[in-house]
C-alpha cells in the first residue's frame, strides 16, 4: 500500500470524528484508526526498501554519469594535447621552412653576386682581348692606307692572305 494513501485515510478518520463540545478533543473510531496504523506499519518497511532501492539506483546512475563524464574529459584532454602537439609541430615546421627560405634567399643572393662578379671579370678579359684585336686591326688598316710595303719587307706575309 501507498503510505500517502494510508496517511490520508488516517487523517480523514480523525477529521471525520465527533467533536467533544467545549474541548479541542475529537472522538474517533478506534478500530478504524488501529487498522490504518497497522497498515502503515506494514507499508513503512516496504516504503523504506523502495526508498533504499531508489537511492541505490540513483547512486549507480550518478556513478555511471561521473564515470562517463570523466571519460569524456579524458578524451577531450587527450585530443587537446594531440592538437596542441600538432600545432607545435606545425609551428616548428613553419619556423624551419622560414629559416630554410631565408638561407636559400641568402645563398641565391650570394650565387647571383658571384655570378655577376665572374661575368664582370669575363667581360673585362673580353674587352682587353677585343681592344687588343681592335688595336691590331687599326694598325693593319693604317699600314694598308700608307700603301704597299716593298716586296720582301713584310717577310712574305702578304702572300698568305687571300
What tens digit of pLDDT does each residue of 28-64 get? 989 999 999 989 888 888 778 888 889 898 999 999 9
Q: Is the pTM of this model over 0.85?
A: no
Number of H helices and E strands in the chain, helices first, is 3, 2
Strand partners, 27: 18
Q: How many Å apart are CA 27 and CA 15, to the nearest integer?
A: 9
For residue 117 the three cell numbers come to 662578379
The string of pLDDT tens digits covering residues 2-15 is 888 888 999 999 88
Q: In this structure, is residue 72 part of a structural domain?
A: yes
Q: Please indicate, yes or no, if residue 110 is contained in any of the structural domains.
A: yes
Q: How many CB atoms lie within 10 A of CB 6?
A: 21
Q: How far apart are the C-alpha atoms of 11 and 36, rounded to whole Å?
A: 10
Task: Tell me the residue ranges of DSSP E strands in 20-142.
Answer: 26-27
> In the chain, how many domains are there?
1
- Residues in the chain, total: 162
Q: Residue 44 has which C-alpha cell?
A: 513503512
Please report which confidence band the pLDDT of residue 72 belongs to, taking 50, 70 and 90 as the band edges: very high
In a domain, 56, yes or no: yes
- Cα angle for residues 18, 21, 24 (degrees, 5° grid): 80
Domain membership flag for residue 160: no
Which H helix or E strand runs over 124?
helix 30-146
Q: Which of 14, 9, 34, 11 is nearest to 26 (CA)?
A: 14
In angstroms, the CA 8 to CA 29 distance is: 15
How many CB atoms lie under 10 A from the CB of residue 64?
A: 10
Per-residue confidence band for 151, with pLDDT thresholds at 50, 70 and 90: low
Tell me whether residue 7 is in a domain: yes
Domain containing residue 99 = 3-146
User: So what's the pLDDT on residue 108?
Assistant: 92
Asked whether residue 153 is assigned to any structural domain, the reply reads no
Q: Does 96 fall in a domain? A: yes
- The predicted pLDDT at position 111 comes to 93
Residue 161 lies in a domain: no
Q: What are the tens digits of pLDDT across the range 82-119?
A: 887 788 888 888 999 999 999 999 999 999 999 999 98
Amino acid at each position: 500500500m501507498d503510505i500517502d494513501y494510508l496517511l490520508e485515510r488516517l487523517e480523514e478518520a480523525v477529521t471525520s470524528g465527533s467533536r467533544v463540545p467545549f474541548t479541542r478533543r475529537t472522538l474517533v473510531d478506534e478500530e478504524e484508526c488501529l487498522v490504518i496504523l497497522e497498515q502503515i506499519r506494514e507499508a513503512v518497511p516496504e516504503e523504506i526498501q523502495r526508498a533504499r532501492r531508489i537511492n541505490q539506483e540513483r547512486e549507480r546512475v550518478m556513478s555511471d554519469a561521473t564515470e562517463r563524464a570523466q571519460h569524456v574529459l579524458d578524451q577531450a584532454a587527450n585530443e587537446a594535447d594531440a592538437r596542441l602537439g600538432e600545432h607545435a609541430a606545425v609551428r616548428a615546421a613553419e619556423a624551419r621552412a622560414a629559416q630554410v627560405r631565408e638561407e636559400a634567399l641568402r645563398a641565391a643572393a650570394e650565387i647571383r653576386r658571384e655570378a655577376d662578379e665572374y661575368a664582370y671579370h669575363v667581360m673585362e678579359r673580353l674587352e682587353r682581348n677585343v681592344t687588343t684585336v681592335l688595336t691590331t686591326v687599326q694598325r693593319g688598316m693604317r699600314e694598308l692606307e700608307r700603301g704597299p710595303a716593298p716586296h720582301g719587307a713584310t717577310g712574305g706575309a702578304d702572300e698568305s692572305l687571300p
